[in-house]
């Protein structure tokens, strides 16, 4: 039986949940029907699923990419430093290199392409807001490399479209703004698609000012370097992991005593013992800040404060514990994993009522606002 056949059978019967090489959920075939075959969605899903599910595919991809890219990168690095410092250079898997320091970026995404999916999400948020007048809604958009073409600094205005068309009050909406490559590389990793310690803390300050304008922020006690050899998700997907590396810095905070529950089980979220994890050669954004769990609850046992619900993705993993310090109980839901982790579908009205929640916050980048997995069912 061929690897292709094995991959097809595995994709349907026992699909792999995580692509560990690229640090993302593995592609699977979600639904086989005539409609999706006719519109081509089934064929696209099958192609992506086979790439993830074929036995040893991730390992073969890793070794092939390391071999093919190590020599090419040395030549590219020389050319960039000498002649093309501000140009985009395509590597593979939608990843470009820009700048002499080896920053990896994704290509720009355009409103004309994303508009239909954005409209679906915007209508979903607007309907939630309209049907729940007793709740306060907040929205935060994270601009990044996909929102701007750094060579000309021309922006796609994706954030503006979301912010202008959601019917949440203007003072309850904000964004992490990126207007140039210099701003981007200050707030995001070179080799990973997430924001770094500076970018995430910047966002925490902005979101806190939006939802609790009179509250004092938790301030970092010090900056600590965890590793010199961090190589993130972009490097992995482009096959240049361990060729493109960078230091991994974090802020250290002292937070009030609190309890944390992950999918109803009491346990820590991410790493709080910085000394233990220092010089970890396998450090990753998710390993330090916490994974994409269906539900994380922070209980600061502050009954005078409100309870809050945060809908987010992997970006908010770095800031939810900080935001939670300003509330009684903070419920953080990633709808991609909720049903799988909790064993039941997410019911918005039931969740709000059972947990006495008064504020709802949406936090995410363009993917969060276009992916159907993040839609909240409205009753």
pLDDT tens sequence across 265-285: 999 998 866 655 666 668 899
pLDDT band at 9 (very low <50, low <70, confident <90, very high): low
d(CA 93, CA 115): 23
d(CA 208, CA 170): 15
d(CA 346, CA 350): 9
Enter the pTM of the model: 0.80
The per-residue pLDDT for 53 is 54
d(CA 312, CA 195): 14
Structural tokens at position 352 = 């709000």
Which of 158 and 281 is assigned the larger pLDDT? 158
Mapping DSSP to helix (H, G, I), strand (E, B) and coil, where does residue 88 land?
A: strand
Structural tokens at position 234 = 């972009």
105-157 pLDDT, tens per residue?
999 999 999 999 999 999 999 999 999 999 999 999 999 999 999 989 999 99
14-67 pLDDT, tens per residue?
666 655 444 556 665 555 555 444 444 545 555 565 555 545 455 545 544 544
The distance of Cα 120 from the centroid of its chain, to the nearest Å, equals 20
Across 20-63, the runs of DSSP E, i.e. the strands, are 24-25
pLDDT at 369 over 80: yes
Per-residue pLDDT, averaged over 207-220, amounts to 96
Per-residue pLDDT, averaged over 242-257, amounts to 92
The distance of Cα 86 from the centroid of its chain, to the nearest Å, equals 26
Which of 26 and 296 is assigned the larger pLDDT? 296
Structural tokens at position 201 = 């803390």
297-356 pLDDT, tens per residue?
999 999 999 999 999 999 999 999 999 999 999 999 999 999 999 999 999 999 999 999
The per-residue pLDDT for 325 is 97
Measuring CA to CA, how many Å separate 303 from each of 210, 211, 233, 329, 367? Answer: 21, 18, 40, 9, 35
Mapping DSSP to helix (H, G, I), strand (E, B) and coil, where does residue 340 land?
A: helix
């Amino acid at each position: 039986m061929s690897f292709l056949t094995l991959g097809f059978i595995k994709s349907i019967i026992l699909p792999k949940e995580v692509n560990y090489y690229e640090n993302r959920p593995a592609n699977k075939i979600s639904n086989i029907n005539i409609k999706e075959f006719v519109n081509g969605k089934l064929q696209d899903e099958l192609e992506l699923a086979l790439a993830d599910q074929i036995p040893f595919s991730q390992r073969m991809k890793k070794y092939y990419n390391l071999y093919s890219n190590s020599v090419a990168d040395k030549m590219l690095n020389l050319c960039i430093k000498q002649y093309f410092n501000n140009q985009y250079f395509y590597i593979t898997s939608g990843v470009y290199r820009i700048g002499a320091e080896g920053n990896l970026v994704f290509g720009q995404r355009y409103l004309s392409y994303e508009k239909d999916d954005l409209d679906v999400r915007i209508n979903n948020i607007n309907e939630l807001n309209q049907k729940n007048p007793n709740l306060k809604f907040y929205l935060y958009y994270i601009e990044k490399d996909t929102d701007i073409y750094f060579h000309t600094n021309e922006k796609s205005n994706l954030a503006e479209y979301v912010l202008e068309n959601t019917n949440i009050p203007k003072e309850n909406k904000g964004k992490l703004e990126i207007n140039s490559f210099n701003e981007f590389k200050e707030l995001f990793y070179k080799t990973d698609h997430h924001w770094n310690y500076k970018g995430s803390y910047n966002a925490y300050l902005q979101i806190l000012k939006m939802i609790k304008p009179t509250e004092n922020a938790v301030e970092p006690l010090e900056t600590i370097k965890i590793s010199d050899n961090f190589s993130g998700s972009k490097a992995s997907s482009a096959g240049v992991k361990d060729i493109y590396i960078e230091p991994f810095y974090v802020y250290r905070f002292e937070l009030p005593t609190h309890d944390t529950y992950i999918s109803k089980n009491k346990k820590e979220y991410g790493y709080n013992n910085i000394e233990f994890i220092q010089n970890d050669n396998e450090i990753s954004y998710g390993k330090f800040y916490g994974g994409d769990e269906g539900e994380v609850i922070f209980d600061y046992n502050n009954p005078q404060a409100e309870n809050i619900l945060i809908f987010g993705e992997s970006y908010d993993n770095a800031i939810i514990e900080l935001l939670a310090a300003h509330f009684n109980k903070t419920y953080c839901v990633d709808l991609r994993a909720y049903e799988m982790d909790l064993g039941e579908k997410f019911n918005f009205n039931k969740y709000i009522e059972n947990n006495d929640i008064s504020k709802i916050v949406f936090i995410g980048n363009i993917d969060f606002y276009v992916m159907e997995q993040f839609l909240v069912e409205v009753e």
